[in-house]
Amino acid sequence: MRRAIDEARKGSGRTSPNPAVGAVIVKDGVELGCGWHRGAGLPHAEREAIAAVREAHGEAALRGSSIYVTLEPCSTHGRTPPCTEGLIEAGISRVVYAAEDPNPAHAGRADRLLAAAGIAVQSGVLADEAAAIIRPFAKVQRSGMPWVILKTAMSLDGRITRPPGESMWLTGLEARAEVQRLRASCEAILTSGETLRRDNPRLDLRDPELAAGRAQPWRVVLTRDAASLPPEAHLFTDAHRERTVVEDRDHPAEVLRRLVVERAVSSVMVECGGRLAAELVEAGLVDEWVAFLAPLLSGGPVPALAGAGMGEGVKLEAPAFQRFGPDVMLRALVRRD
Ligand code: AOF
Ligand code: ZN
C-alpha cells in the first residue's frame, strides 16, 4: 500500500475534479505492475495497473493476483467504466484498498460488488495517509468548496518583506523549490490586487518536470478595483495570461465556490499579503497553513497576518515540520469542530 500511495502522489494537482489515486498489483510477493490516475477522463489507477501487468507479463499473470489501491474502487459508469468490473474481468482475487470513496455514488458499494464475485476485500489499510492525498476531492464532495492552502514566507518577526533596498526573497532556494511543488499540487493560486501591484509575481510552475502533462494553475486576483491593475504585470502578459482571472475581493467564498464549478478546481493555494490572508482565515475559508520561516529579522512594514483580530484564535492540528536549507517549514491543518 505504501507503494500505491507513492503512485497516487504523482497525480496530486493533475486529476481534478477526480481524486489522485494509485494502485499496485502483486502476486506471490512480487510486484507485477503499478499505475496512477493521470487525469479526469483517463483510465483510473486500477486500469492503469492492470494494463501495465498485461503489457509486462501477459493476461494470465493477472489471475489470482492481489491489487493494492489507495481508494475504494469505483462502481458506476462515469467518464470511464467501473473499476469493480475491470477487477472482476481481470481475474484479480484479492482487493486491498485504503480510503473509502467520499463520492456518495461509490461510498461503501465496492465491498459488496467485489465479494459477490468471490473476491476477498480488505479496506482501511493506511487509510489516513491515503485520505490526506484526496483531501481536496473529499472537501469538494462534502461541501462544494475547494481545499485552501495558505502559504506564507516570513521572517522571524512575522514580516513578509525584506528591509528596503535588499533582494525581495526572504527564503532560500530550497524553500522556494518546495513552494513550486506545493503550487503543482493545486489547480489555482489566489492573490490580491495589492500583491500584484507590489510584487508583480508570476505564480506559475517554472520547473518543466512539474509543469509537464498538466495545465498551468489558474491565477486568481481578488481586487475591488480591476481597472487600476497594471496591464504590463506578468499575470497579464506572460505565456499563460489566459490562465489569469480577476475576481471580486468582497466575495471570496463565492469566488472559491465558482472555481470548483466553472474551472474544475479542487485545491487553491493562497499567496498574498497579510490583509487578505487574515480575512480568509477569519472567514473560515483556509484549510491548511504552510509557513516558511526565514532566519532573519526584517523590520519591514508588512505583517504575515494583518487581521482585525482572530476572535478566540484559530486552532491548528496535525503539525508537521521540515527543514529547507536555512529555512523551516511548518504546516498544519485548521481544526474544524
Ligand atoms: C477509482 N480510481 O483512479 C479514480 C476514481 O468519471 P470517472 O469515470 O473518471 O469517475 C470519476 C469518479 O471515480 C470520481 O468521482 C471518484 O469517485 C472515482 N475516482 N476511482 O477507483 C481512480 N480516479
Ligand atoms: Zn475507477
Q: How confident is the model at residue 161, as a pLDDT?
A: 81
Backbone angles phi, psi at 64, to 5 degrees: 80, 10
pLDDT in tens, 11-41: 999 999 999 999 999 999 999 999 999 999 9
CA distances from 104 to 109, 138, 249 (A): 9, 10, 33
Contact between 13 and 185 (Cβ < 8 Å): yes
Alpha helices (H) along the chain: 2-9, 45-57, 83-90, 110-116, 127-133, 135-143, 173-184, 193-199, 208-211, 234-237, 252-263, 274-282
Judge if the beta carbon of residue 45 lies within 6 A of ligand 1: yes
Name the active-site residue from 7, 31, 46, 178.
Answer: 46
Atom of ligand 1 nearest to the CA of 72: 21
The whole-chain average pLDDT of the chain stands at 94
What band does 312 get if pLDDT is binned at 50, 70 and 90? Answer: confident
What share of the chain in percent tops pLDDT 90? 88
The ligand with the least distance to the CA atom of 18 is: 1
Interatomic CA distance for residues 51 and 187, integer angstroms: 28
ipTM: 0.91
What share of the chain in percent tops pLDDT 70? 98
Interatomic CA distance for residues 52 and 40, integer angstroms: 19
For ligand 2, a single-atom ion, the residues with CB < 5 A are 44, 74, 83
Judge if the beta carbon of residue 323 lies within 6 A of ligand 1: no
Is residue 168 over pLDDT 90? no
pTM: 0.94
Is residue 186 over pLDDT 90? yes
Q: How confident is the model at residue 87, as a pLDDT?
A: 98
What band does 169 get if pLDDT is binned at 50, 70 and 90? Answer: confident
Higher-pLDDT residue of 300 and 3 is 3
Place of cell 477522463: 41
Atom of ligand 1 nearest to the CA of 80: 8
Atom of ligand 1 nearest to the CA of 40: 9
Give me Rg for the CA atoms of the chain: 22
Residue 166 designated active-site: no
pLDDT in tens, 81-134: 999 999 999 999 999 999 999 999 998 899 999 999 999 999 999 999 999 999
Interatomic CA distance for residues 27 and 40, integer angstroms: 29
The mean per-residue pLDDT over the stretch 59-72 comes to 98
3-class SS of residue 155: strand
Interatomic CA distance for residues 326 and 173, integer angstroms: 9
The mean per-residue pLDDT over the stretch 318-324 comes to 97
Q: How confident is the model at residue 213, as a pLDDT?
A: 87
How remote is the CA of residue 145 from the centroid of ligand 2, in Å?
Answer: 23
Dump the DSSP string for 177-214.
HHHHHHHHT-SEEEEEHHHHHHH----S--SHHHHTTS
How remote is the CA of residue 101 from the centroid of ligand 2, in Å?
Answer: 10
How remote is the CA of residue 88 from the centroid of ligand 2, in Å?
Answer: 12
Place of cell 512480487: 30
**Distant-in-sequence, close-in-space partners of 329: CB < 8 Å, separation ≥ 6:** 175, 178, 290, 291, 292, 293, 321, 322, 323
Protein residue closest via CA to atom 17 of ligand 1: 103
Q: How confident is the model at residue 313, as a pLDDT?
A: 80
**Distant-in-sequence, close-in-space partners of 58: CB < 8 Å, separation ≥ 6:** none
What band does 311 get if pLDDT is binned at 50, 70 and 90? Answer: low
Atom of ligand 1 nearest to the CA of 23: 3
Cα 68 to chain centroid, rounded = 22
Q: How confident is the model at residue 178, as a pLDDT?
A: 96
- Mutation test of ligand 1: which of 14, 67, 74 has the most ligand atoms closer than 8 Å to its C-beta? 74
Q: How confident is the model at residue 309, as a pLDDT?
A: 61
How remote is the CA of residue 107 from the centroid of ligand 1, in Å?
Answer: 11
According to DSSP, the residues that pair with 190 across neighbouring strands are 220, 270
